[in-house]
Amino acid sequence: MEERKTVLSIRNLSVSFSQYERGFHQKDLLAIKDLSLDVKEGEMVAVVGSSGSGKSLLAHSVLGILPYNGTWTGEISYYGEVLTEKRMKELRGKEMVLVPQSVSYLDPLMKTGPQIRKGKKDEKSRKKSLEVLKRYGLDPSTEHLYPFELSGGMTRRILISTAIMEQPRLVIADEPTPGLHIDIAKRVLSHFREMADEGAGVLLITHDLELALEAADRIVVFYAGTNVEEALVSDFQEESRLRHPYTRTLYRAMPDHGFFAEPGTQPYAGNRPAGCPYAPRCGDVQEQCLKEVGYRSFRGGMVRCIKAGGEAG
């Protein structure tokens, strides 16, 4: 079988923010710590994690659009080429596209049609943009509307349309489905799936584990700014196949598995404990968990837990 090329490779990504506390005292907030993941051609990888776990920051790092007070370290490569901020800018919106989480990425003063077509005026682009609108159940006249005239769900569909007008090789979709009717949400995901089947690499960022399991190939679980597990979709058929205790709580929280809500919350980046970030909630904490825990291969996936596979691994 032909080896699939790796579209996106992220190694040991950390993102921090400089913040000023009480006057001139500067403090660094480590929002993402030691994150690694790959997306191959033809593959849809879903990143799942609760609010504040660093999902959008991951997307923004790859595209070179972190906020001004943010800096990153580590290595981000696209088809084997280590990316600089300059190169990210060149690829952005063309080969690498983002479906942003926030509607503030639309220009409030520009009608949606020209935004989708990125200013292109030729007949082919117009035809394609109308096809894209139709695909997501939007009337052709939507192209004449300004962003303030759109409902939340319409806006989300416009954001998706804007990203897929080109033929990207890497699509990063940051929460593309909230606010959408389930049928449209499924249509959106099946469209991303199609893009992957045609050879693109797709990174889907979502809270919705159930939807992710329907469309993706692999699931990467985020917790407090890092990844704790990488699993195949098929691993979610049985709780015992999952590698990290946090992933198992996500499994038990699914409607089909009892809707169990785990007590406690994910620590805020500024209060992340030393060692395993999940240790304060874990029922099986050992002394070693309070030291740095590495991310390692385990049973066809990845895990950041000393307990997976028996004692310290």
Binding site for ligand ATP (CB under 6 A): 17, 29, 31, 49, 51-57, 67, 69-70, 101, 268-269
Distance of closest approach, residue 309 Cβ to Mg ion, in angstroms: 32
**Binding partner of 31, given Mg ion, ligand ATP, none, CB within 5-8 angstroms per partner class:** ligand ATP
**Binding partner of 54, given ligand ATP, Mg ion, none, CB within 5-8 angstroms per partner class:** ligand ATP
Which two three-digit tokens encode residue 294? 């590495």
Residue 73 bridge partners (DSSP): 14
Between 58 and 158, CB nearer to ligand ATP? 58
How many CB atoms sit inside 10 A of residue 251's CB? Answer: 22
Between 54 and 277, CB nearer to Mg ion? 54
Between 67 and 263, CB nearer to ligand ATP? 67
Q: Cα 26–28–31 angle (5° rounding)? A: 150
Q: Cα 145–139–103 angle (5° rounding)? A: 50
In this structure, what are the phi and psi dihedrals at residue 110, rounded to the nearest 5 degrees? -120, 140
Between 165 and 220, CB nearer to Mg ion? 220
**Binding partner of 260, given Mg ion, ligand ATP, none, CB within 5-8 angstroms per partner class:** none
| H or E element in which residue 124 lies | helix 123-135
CA-based nearest residue to 137, from 188, 102, 99, 194: 188
Between 52 and 137, CB nearer to ligand ATP? 52
271 neighbors 253 (Cβ within 8 angstroms) = no
Q: Which of 9, 53, 56, 112 binds Mg ion (CB under 5 A)?
A: 56
CA-based nearest residue to 227, from 31, 49, 1: 49
CA-based nearest residue to 250, from 50, 12, 3: 50
Please report, to the nearest 10 degrees, the dihedral formed by the alpha carbons of residues 257, 258, 259, 260 taken in order.
-110
Total residues at the site for Mg ion (CB under 5 A)?
3
**Binding partner of 199, given Mg ion, ligand ATP, none, CB within 5-8 angstroms per partner class:** none
Q: Tell me whether strands 301-303 and 226-232 are parallel, antiparallel or unpaired.
A: antiparallel
Distance CA 125, CA 130 (A): 9
Distance of closest approach, residue 152 Cβ to Mg ion, in angstroms: 16
Distance of closest approach, residue 71 Cβ to ligand ATP, in angstroms: 11
Q: Is 9 in the site for Mg ion (CB under 5 A)?
A: no
> Restricting to residues 79-108, which ones interact with Mg ion according to CB under 5 A?
101
Between 43 and 174, CB nearer to Mg ion? 174
**Binding partner of 151, given ligand ATP, Mg ion, none, CB within 5-8 angstroms per partner class:** none
Distance of closest approach, residue 170 Cβ to ligand ATP, in angstroms: 18
Q: Cα 204–205–207 angle (5° rounding)? A: 125
**Binding partner of 115, given Mg ion, ligand ATP, none, CB within 5-8 angstroms per partner class:** none
**Binding partner of 233, given Mg ion, ligand ATP, none, CB within 5-8 angstroms per partner class:** none
Which residues contact Mg ion (rule: CB under 5 A)? 55-56, 101
